[in-house]
Amino acid sequence: MNTTARNALISVSDKTGIAEFAAALAALGFRLLSTGGTAKLLKDAGLPVTEVAEVTRFPEMLDGRVKTLHPAIHGGLLARRDTPAHMAALQAHGIGAIDLAVINLYPFEATVARPGCTLAEAIENIDIGGPAMVRSAAKNWQDVAVLTHASQYAAVLQELRASGGQLSAKTRFALSVAAFNRVAQYDAAISEWLSSVDFDASQGQGESGSAPFAQSAPVRAPFPAQANPVFIKLQDLRYGENPHQQAAFYRDLHPAPGTLATARQLQGKELSYNNIADADAAWECVRQFTQAACVIVKHANPCGVAVAPSAGQAYAKALQTDPTSAFGGIIAFNRPLDGPAAEHAARQFVEVLMAPAFTPEALAVFAAKPNVRLLQIELPADTAHAAPAARALEYKRVGSGLLIQTADQHRLQETDLQVVTEKRPTPQQMQDLLFAWQVAQYVKSNAIVFCKDGMTVGVGAGQMSRLDSARIASIKAQNAGLSLTGAAAASDAFFPFRDGLDVLADAGAACVIQPGGSIRDAEVIAAANERGIAMVFTGVRHFRH
């Protein structure tokens, strides 16, 4: 290898834009070194390329498993230019220093994401040489620039052209950090996928005499032996739940469309920790409805939820539930916000307002309130009634530990309900029961929710006693001037005694939806029959802590 020329090593699995980038490097005076398929692509593009095998004087072997693991490559990447002994060693062995490395890795994550991926396919897509080169180049960031994604090409080229083919130390360090992050993400994905494989169960499904589960996807446990969640910091926050706490907001490495982490802030002050927590609660609730809906949240609990023909009508109904709590709350719509709805919402003090889109008229309304935070979250058409992939697992820190569970994605249909009382709900009551149940899923336990005509009329949340939640819901309805007579009531868990049912009946409920499953179900059913109430069981509980 030429020991004086500037050398760029290129070895990529994702070849997006690489021919154009390599051509620009060659024009800047870099000598191109490459491997296998990448070298062929560059040669086909008419670029002068030296294959790595010519540099190592050793052919690729083992179906390409070994090609870059050689001192001629890693010496060129790791040699410190400010250390005479390092440079003398390169000179003595005819090794050229590598100044720039463009490396991305075998597509392990994409491979295992495909349905039916076998263990053999997964193993063959574990890159060895790539991460080794990335780590070597990143460790020697003072002298080597390492690029690990096509999105970096444009900015690097711009700086190279503007500075005579050099990159600043700041840029090289940032590229190094990104490279180590990429290797960490890659290793985390491999570790988590492999540690979820049930070897014994998987081996049993293979053909006799064949390699273990080579022909079919392995059996995998829902939770891996080691969890390696990866999150990317979006922003530092002013403080946490309280001013004496520090905080930051992170997103999943690959956030699901239509989730809070994909939001675009159109105006307003910086989001706070509490803003984000409450916004997530409001958005996850509102996005489940197929009708136009509005959800108002205060302190992580819905204080008003409604569906209606339009966003503005839904807001008007939701606000009626508890206008006192709605003051300074978070408002979420699952439909674009138009001018009339914006004018109505702007009359109250609101911290954050979310919608899939805002019309120019709506933006003009809130331009007069520059502190209001407007978040646009685009909802893909297929997300109605479907929980996003990013919510498939939920995490909660406990002392020196982590609780992980699958997300509560259960969606109830009318056919799932069991009518257990003599009296059956009317069609309208059935719709109100289903609506109340949807809302109860997003209310902190113990949760009691009264609904009527597609809107909440009383919400009791987060009490140690289910009776107290019911009483609070009734008090809130009374304070808001709403009648609970004829309302549907939802309880997120079963009633252990009949007194809970009696409190709902005393408040005016005409029908009740609850999971059932108590040893005293018969007593509660008898109470409902006695009070002339229709009751249905879901068979599903919705605790939310």
Per-residue pLDDT tens digits for 463-482? 898 899 999 999 999 999 99
Q: Which of 449, 166, 194, 193 is nearest to 302 (CA)?
A: 449
pLDDT band with cut points at 50, 70 and 90 for residue 308 = very high
> Is the per-residue pLDDT at 266 higher than 80?
yes
DSSP tag of 211: S
pTM of the entire structure? 0.86
Give the chain's domains with CATH numbers.
Answer: 7-194 (3.40.50.1380), 260-383 (3.40.140.20), 416-537 (3.40.140.20)
Phi-psi bin for 532: left (phi > 0), alpha (psi -120 to 50), beta? left
The bridge status of strand 31-34 relative to strand 7-11 is parallel
Residue of 149, 299, 344, 369 with catalytic role: 299
pLDDT of residue 102: 96
> Is the per-residue pLDDT at 3 higher than 50?
no
Can you list the pairs that 252-256 forms with residues at least 24 positions away whose Cβ atoms lie under 8 Å? 252/390, 253/185, 254/390, 255/390, 256/388, 256/389, 256/390, 256/391
Q: For the chain, what is the mean pLDDT?
A: 90
**Identity of the residue numbered 515:** P
Mean pLDDT of 244-259: 93
For 185, phi then psi, to 5°, come to -60, -40
For 396, phi then psi, to 5°, come to -145, 120
Contact 431, 420 (CB under 8 A): no
pLDDT of residue 393: 84
> Is the per-residue pLDDT at 164 higher than 80?
yes
Window from 67-71, 85-89, 144-148, 168-172 with minimum mean pLDDT: 67-71
Active site residue 139: yes
pLDDT of residue 386: 46
- Reported in sequence order, the residue ranges of 195-279 that DSSP labels E, i.e. its strands, are 231-237, 247-252, 264-267
- CA angle at 299 for the pair 541 and 374, rounded to the nearest 5°: 110
Residue of 15, 43, 139, 410 with catalytic role: 139
List, in sequence order, every residue forming a beta bridge with 373; answer none if it has no partner. 352
Q: Which residue has the higher pLDDT, 492 or 206?
A: 492
CA distances (Å), origin 141, targets 22, 98, 105, 253: 20, 11, 19, 24
Mean pLDDT of 133-144: 95
The sheet with strand 31-34 has its strands ordered as 49-51, 31-34, 7-11, 98-103, 145-147
> Is the per-residue pLDDT at 42 higher than 70?
yes
Q: Return the structure tokens found at 501.
A: 């049912």
User: What percent of the chain is modeled with pLDDT above 90?
Assistant: 68
The bridge status of strand 247-252 relative to strand 264-267 is unpaired
Query: What is the tens place of the pLDDT at every residue in 50-95?
Result: 888 878 777 776 776 777 778 888 889 999 998 899 989 888 888 8
> Is the per-residue pLDDT at 212 higher than 60?
no
Mean pLDDT of 162-179: 94
Window from 5-9, 265-269, 353-357 with minimum mean pLDDT: 5-9
> Is the per-residue pLDDT at 165 higher than 80?
yes
Mean pLDDT of 119-130: 90
pLDDT of residue 213: 58
Distance CA 96, CA 100 (A): 12
Distance CA 542, CA 545 (A): 10
> Is the per-residue pLDDT at 389 higher than 60?
no
**Residue reference for tokens 């879901």:** 538
> Is the per-residue pLDDT at 2 higher than 80?
no
